[in-house]
Structure formats: C-alpha cells, structure tokens
Structure 1
Amino acid sequence: MVNLSRFSSSLSDSNSDPRIHCRYDRLIKLQAQVEGFSLLPQLKAGSVLSGRHGSVFRGRGLNFEELRHYQLGDDIRNLDWKVTMRTGKPHVRSYTEEKDRHVIICVDQRSSMFFSSVEVMKSVVAAEIAALIGWRVLKDSDRIGMAVCGCEGINWVRSRRSQADWLQRLQVLTQANQALNVASHDQVAVSFANLLAMLARLKLKNTTLVILSDWAGATEQDISHLKHLQRHNDVLGILIADPLEKSLPCHSASDSHWVVGDGQFQLNITNSQQLARVNQGLETQLLLKKEQLLKLMAMKSLPVIELDTSGQHIELFKRAIAGGR
C-alpha cells in the first residue's frame, strides 16, 4: 500500500479528522441529506402485480384492484374466464401487492479500505454512503439491515424498521472504521467469499443488497455467487476506488522511483519501464472489477456506481442514483 505520509500529522488525533476516520455525529447528520434521491425507482415493475414499491419480481398480489381488458404481455394466468366468456372479450384481474421491502447494506471496512491519495479514506466513503442509504430507506418506511466487514470479522444484524436500532448499527460501523490503522491486518474470516456464504445462508428473497467496497479480493467465483443472489434479490454494487490504484503518477525521472507495500511485502520500482508495467497491471485490474460489476448489474438493469476519494462522494452518489432511474 502506498505511504500515507500526507495524513501522518493527523493520525495521532484521527478521531478529529473526518478524512481518516468517520465520526458518529457526522453519520447521524447525514439524515438531513436524504432528499434528492431514492432507491425505489431502481426496482422496475415486472407485471401489473406490483405494490407501492416497483419490483422486478413477479407474483400474485393479495388485494384485488380492477378488471380490465387483456393487453399484449399480460400473464394469461390472471385471465378472469367468467367475465371473458360473458363478454366475449378477454379480461384480466389486476392486483396490488403492498409489502415492506428489506434492504441490507454490506459495508467493507477491511484494511484495504484504509487508503487514500487524495482527500478521504475509502473506508470513510463507504461508511458515509452506507449511513446516507440507511436514512433514506428508513424515510421510505422500509426495513434496513447491515453487515459490517471489519478486520476481525463480520458483524451482521437483521433488517428492522427502527431508528434506534439504526443508530446502534451506526455505532458499530463507527467503531469498525475507527479501529482501522496502517497496521491493520485482515483475518481470513472476512474475505468476500465468507461474506457471500453468510448471505447465502440467510436464504434471502425480495431483498435489496447494497455492497460498498473496493472489491479487493473478489474473485470471478464470488461474482458468480452474487449472480445466484440476483435471482431472487437485487444487488447494487458500489465500487470505491482511489486514483492511485489506477496508476502511479510520473511527471519526471525522479517520480519513477516508488516503494509500495501492503504491510507485509514491499515492491521497489526503480525505473520508468517498471513503472509502466505496474501501471498497466493496476489499470487492467481496475477495469476487470468494473467489467465484472457491469455484467452483474446488467442482470437487473441496475447502475454500476463508482465513487472516488476526492471528498465529493455524497454528490457523486446522488447523481449516479438519479441518472440510473
């Protein structure tokens, strides 16, 4: 990982610097910024059997709404044969399906998220966007759950429609975020595969899953498992990336000398040719992540949202959600 010397002056009092660690009071204040976007328009109606929340899932509603003439594309299982035979024209019965929606936010707070070369740590971006989404979900009177992937393990709480419970979840998220430092090291139990295995055990249906991560360590097999989750749920992937993860800058010959490490291993880059190969590898890796997410999101016509560490993540997220309607 690249040296974080530009932040070293603040590490001794990191709780006072919102660039490095998120603040609990800041996460609470984000409640005031939930206007101007909504997750609801992302879920498009798949049939006339839809309720207050448009859904990609087809199903029979419980509340009869109306009889109307058959239209091309209507499910023939909804034909009212008595009315059809009496009138001589096909009629269908339409229903409304009013039900709560469950949203689960998976927030990556692993060691790879404790990084930024610009303004704000990736871990802070993930925490603040998670809080913003949660407040929006509660405003829409839906249930919100959270899985926080920290260095030591995964903290999971089922979906509830409770502001008091959400405040407790934000406390857990804040603690996981503030536990991160340059010496943080992930346990094996917090891999992407373990997170997906936990979600699979929950046997979720009609749930919206939001994953905020840099997707470090996510394999092609992990993406395949997410595709299985997409069959009965919506998965919204949010990629949080730093410009330095795409390429190391080089403005002069002296800039081509880099020492990078991940806390265990170091790599010395001593010339422009080595730097070019490293940059090519970094760009390829980032493009691969984006390509995998694009394929995953295309299954349900959901947008792929990419956020950076510039400090404009709230505005970027709102703009991306609005553009995906």
Structure 2
Amino acid sequence: MAQPKMAPQAQGLDPRLYCEYARLVRLQAQVESFSLLPHLNSGSALSGRHQSLFRGRGLNFEELRHYQIGDDIRHLDWKVTLRTGKPHIRSYTEEKDRNVIICVDQRSGMFFASTQVMKSVVAAELAAMCGWRVLKDGDRVGFVIAGEKALYQSKPERSQYGFLAQLKRLSQENQRLNVHSLNSDKVSFGQWLTLIKRIKLKQSTFVIISDWRDCEEHHLDHLKQLQQHNDVLAVTISDPLEQALPKDLGKMKWVIGDGRHQLNLDSKTKVDVASASLAEKTDKQRQSLTELMAMKRLPHIELDTSGNHIAQFKKQVGRR
C-alpha cells in the first residue's frame, strides 16, 4: 500500500537569511490570490494587454484555405477573397499551453539586505510562487538559476515532480551564499543571458528576477531582441542602502567592499559622492528596464527587502 507523502520538514534556518525547501513548497498556498492569466481587474496595471500579464491561451493562425460549406464566415479573409475572387478562410488552432521560464538570480550580490530579508530570499520565494501559479494554470515551467559557481537550466515541463526538484536546487543554491561568497567568472550577467537566449523559444514567457546590478546597456539590447518574439518580465529586487546612503554615515567611518575592492567612507564628502553615484545608477537602471517593459505594455516590477515582497508582487501583478 502506498504511503502518504510527507510534507518537507523545516531545517530551522533564519528565514530572513535563507530560504528553505519546505518554505518554497508551502508557497503553493499563496497562488490563489494572484494570476498570470486573463483574470485581471480592470484597474490592474496589467489590464488592457490581451487582458493578461503574459501571452495566454488563445488561437494560433494555422493556414489560409478556400471557404467550405459550414465554415464560420467571421473568419473570411476579405483581402485575399477580393484579390482572388474566391472566398478564403483563415483557420486557427487552439493554443494548448505556454512555456514559462523563470530566471532567478542567486549569485553573491543577492546575499544582501539592510532591512529585513536578503535579496536572495526574496528572489527565491518569488520564483517559487510564479512556478506554482504556472503549474496551477496547467502550463509548462522551466528554470534558469544563476548560482554563485554555476548556471543551471531545466526545460519547461508540466510536472510537479520536476518542479519540486528545481525548488530543491533553488534552495540549495540559496543556502550556499554567505558573507564570503564570491562569484565565479562563469556566472556573469552576460553569460546568464547567453544561456537564456540559447533556449531559443518563441511565444514564451521569461520572468527574470534579479537586482540587475551588473546588467549593462548591451545586455538590454539583447533582451529587446528576446522581447520581440516572447514576453520578458523584469522583476527588480533592491535594498534602500543600494539607492542612497545615510547622511551621517561618515561619522561611523564605514568601509564597504565587494570581495575584491574596498571603499573607506570616512567623511561626509565621500558619502555624498557615493550616494549620488548610487542614485544615478539606480535611476538609469530603472529607466532602461521600464523602457524594455514598455515594448509589450508590461510593468517593471520593483520589490524591496522590507519583508513585504509577496504583497508587493501581488499588488503590482494584479489580484484575482
């Protein structure tokens, strides 16, 4: 007799620092309150584009053929009919499902927060929620995970077993991060993007969840090309300290670093210069991603590390 499946057990890790597999599994309960398919309220930021955030199920054009008795005259192609003098019908087939690729950043730069929750935890939880929602809608979900040492890809499939395996991989990559983490040269944003493009899917959805800190202008050009035949949704996770430094930081004589370089912030002038540089970079990044999303009338979703990321995401995507 088959034994009932046991829910994964919590490991007792601090949920602000690390994301446990059991937590990612439990997030399945959160997917009823938001939708990535055509059920958005008219007041949603995403309404008006196919009444949906992403390319949903619909009709795909199959062929142009001669009219036959019984065909729906609403599908007559009048231009071809007038040009040839014979009635022609545009026939369609129903689109059965979608491919959704969730690209989630778990590199060393994501192991940061000045408020409540690490950016890496926010990204992992959002990736799990989106995946559960896609499966709930009967579509195919795949992952491209950028870890500290390597990139991992799984093909889109409509399998809960396969999805759980990817959640386990995601939690493992999340828990590898620590204050001493240093990215391998193999996991730059450019190489991550190259792997995403190598999937070569069309009419698909790519959800990219990252802090986008090392995304450069030429990377955005590649994403614009990807956006032409797919839907690319940018989700930015940022921390307040990455956008502006506290004004009295100079008195604390902080030394900050990225594992390779250090900066001594021991005066107000240095703090002001560093803060202005952060604000300029953040504004430029926000503008570039907003323009990328505007190509398909999608919003640029921005989340923070305050611990309210799930509510923020549901509000910006649109509740059911």
Q: State TM-score, norm by structure 1.
A: 0.82
**Tell me, what secondary structure is at the counterpart of 2:246?**
coil
The aligned counterpart of 1:67 is 73
Q: Which moved more, 1:91-100 or 1:159-168?
A: 91-100
Q: Where do 1:1-325 residues align within 5 Å?
A: 16-41=13-38, 44-45=49-50, 53=57, 59-61=60-62, 66-68=72-74, 93=90, 95-251=92-248, 254-255=251-252, 257-322=253-318
* CA distance in structure 1 between the aligned counterparts of 2:214 and 2:250, rounded to whole angstroms: 32
Change (3 A) 1:16 1:297: same
Q: Is the 8 A contact 2:135 2:141 kept in 1?
A: yes
In the alignment, the residues of structure 2 paired with residue 216 and residue 76 of structure 1 have an alpha-carbon distance, to the nearest angstrom, of 51
Question: Are 2:150 and 2:186, in contact at CA under 8 Å, matched by a contact in 1?
Answer: yes
Residue-by-residue CA offset, 1:20-67 (whole Å, 9 max, x unaligned): 000111100100010121112469449xxxx96259xxx5147x9832
The separation in 2 between residues aligned to 1:196 and 1:85, in whole angstroms, is 48
Q: Which digits, 9 at most, give the CA deviation of each residue in 1:123-164, with x for residues without a partner? A: 000000000000000000000000110011101000000011
How many Å separate the matches in 1 of 2:207 and 2:213?
16
Contact 2:203 2:229 in 1 (8 A): yes
Change in CA separation of 1:93 and 1:174 when aligned onto 2, cut-off 3 Å: same
- What residue in structure 2 maps to residue 6 of structure 1? none
Q: For each residue in 1:96-141, what CA deviation from the matched residue of structure 2 results, as whole angstroms up to 9, or x when unmatched?
A: 5322100000010000000000000000000000000000000000
Whole-Å Cα distance in 2 between the matches of residues 252 and 171 of structure 1?
Answer: 39
Matches of 1:252 and 1:209, distance apart in 2: 39
Deviations 1:2-21, CA, capped at 9 Å, x for gaps: xxxxxxxxxxxx95201000
> 2:4 aligns to what?
none
Question: How far apart are the structure 2 equivalents of 1:252 and 1:165?
Answer: 47
- 1:65 touches 1:93 (CA, 8 Å); kept in 2? no
Could you give the per-residue CA deviations for residues 224-268 of structure 1, whole angstroms, max 9, x where no partner exists? Answer: 00111111111000000000001111248625x321111222111
1:66, 1:94 within 8 Å by CA — same for their partners in 2?
no
Separation of aligned partners in 2, 1:252 and 1:291: 28
Amino acid at match of 1:264: R
Distance 1:266 1:201 in 2: 36
The residue type equivalent to 2:73 in the other structure is: L
Q: Deviations over 1:268-322 (max 9, x none)?
A: 1121121111110000111111111011111111110000000000000000001
Q: Offset at 1:81? A: 6.0
Q: What residue in structure 1 maps to residue 41 of structure 2? A: none
Question: What secondary structure does 1:103 align onto?
Answer: strand
2: CA distance, partners of 1:189 / 1:132: 27
Q: Distance in 2 between matches of 1:300 and 1:135?
A: 24
Secondary structure, aligned partner of 1:297: helix
In structure 2, stretches of 5+ residues that fail to align are: 1-10, 39-45, 64-69
Partner SS for 2:232 = strand
> How many residues are treated as equivalent by the alignment?
294
Separation (CA, whole Å) in 1 of partners of 2:250 and 2:286: 31
Alpha-carbon distance, 1:68 to partner: 2.1
Could you tell me how far apart the structure 2 residues matched to 1:261 and 1:102 are? 39
Could you say if the C-alpha distance between residues 292 and 112 of structure 1 is closer, same or farther in structure 2, counting changes exceeding 3 Å?
same
SS at match of 1:294: helix
**C-alpha separation in 1, matches of 2:199 and 2:37:** 23
SS at match of 1:68: helix
Distance in 1 separating the partners of 2:102 and 2:71: 33
Name structure 1 gaps, 5 residues minimum. Answer: 1-13
Structure 1 CA distance for aligned equivalents of residues 71 and 133 of structure 2: 29
- CA shift, 1:95, in A, is 3.6
